[in-house]
Amino acid sequence: MLGRLALIEWLLKYREHLFQEILAGRRLGRYVFDACLVTLGGTAFYGLVVGISVGGWQILYDPIKLPWVLIFTLVLCLPSLYVFSCYLGSRLELAQVCALASTGTGVVATILIGFAPITWFFMFTAPGSHHFAVLVNVAVFMVAGFFGVQFMRRGARAVHRTPEERRAVERMMNWWMVLYALVGVQMAWLLRPYFTATDVFIRPRAGNFFVAVLMTLREFLSGQGW
C-alpha cells in the first residue's frame, strides 16, 4: 500500500517522466489504480480533519463522502474528455486518457493533504461559524482544483506530439475543465452536509451549489455568519 501511495512523490517531483510513461502507454493500469488510491486516501484524510473540526457524525461521514465527490465527478466527465479529444485529432487511447485524468485528480487530493492542517486551524479558531467553515473549504478546493487543472494542461501538452494537436487539445481542455468544475461543485452539493454536526448522511435534493455559496457569502459579510 505504501508503494502505491508513492505516486504522490511522482506527482510532485517527476511529472515529466510520468507524462512520458503515459504517452508510451506503459503501466497505465497501475497509474490509474494508484491515482485512485491517492484520491481516496487524500480526500478521506482531508474529510477526517474537517469532520473532527465539526464533530458529531461528520467525523465518520466526511471521510466517506468527500472522496466520492472527486471519484464520481471523474467518472461522469471522463467520457466527454475522451470523445472531445478524439474529435479534435488526439490519438490517445482511452486508457491513456484515463491515466492523465486520474493523475490530475490525484494532484487535487495531494494538495488537499497539504492544506488539511491549515483548514483545521481556521475551523478550530472559529468554532460554530458554519458560514466561515463553508467559505474556507470552498477556497481550499478552488486552490487544489487550480493545481489539478495546471497539471492536466501540462500533461495534455506533453502527451501530444504535434503542435496542431497540442493547440487543439489545450483549447478543449480549457472548456472541459470548466465542465469538470461545474459537475464537481454540484456533486459536492448533492452529497451535503459536511459542516453541520447532524446525523443526516445526505440531505434531500434541493437547490444548487452556486446559489448556496452566494447566500452564504452574503450572510457572512453581513455578520450573520459570526
pLDDT in tens, the chain (226 residues): 555 666 777 788 888 888 899 888 898 998 999 999 999 999 999 999 999 999 889 999 999 999 999 999 999 999 998 998 888 777 888 999 999 999 999 999 999 999 999 999 999 998 877 778 888 998 999 999 989 988 988 888 888 777 777 777 777 887 888 888 889 888 988 888 898 888 889 888 766 776 777 777 777 667 654 4
Cα–chain center distance at 45: 13
- Distance of alpha carbon 111 from alpha carbon 109, whole angstroms: 5
> pTM of the full predicted structure?
0.86
- Distance of alpha carbon 163 from alpha carbon 55, whole angstroms: 52
- Asked if residue 158 lies in contact with residue 18, where contact means CB atoms within 8 angstroms, the answer is no
Take residue 199 and report the three cell numbers written for it.
Answer: 446525523
114's CB contacts (< 8 A; 6+ apart) are none
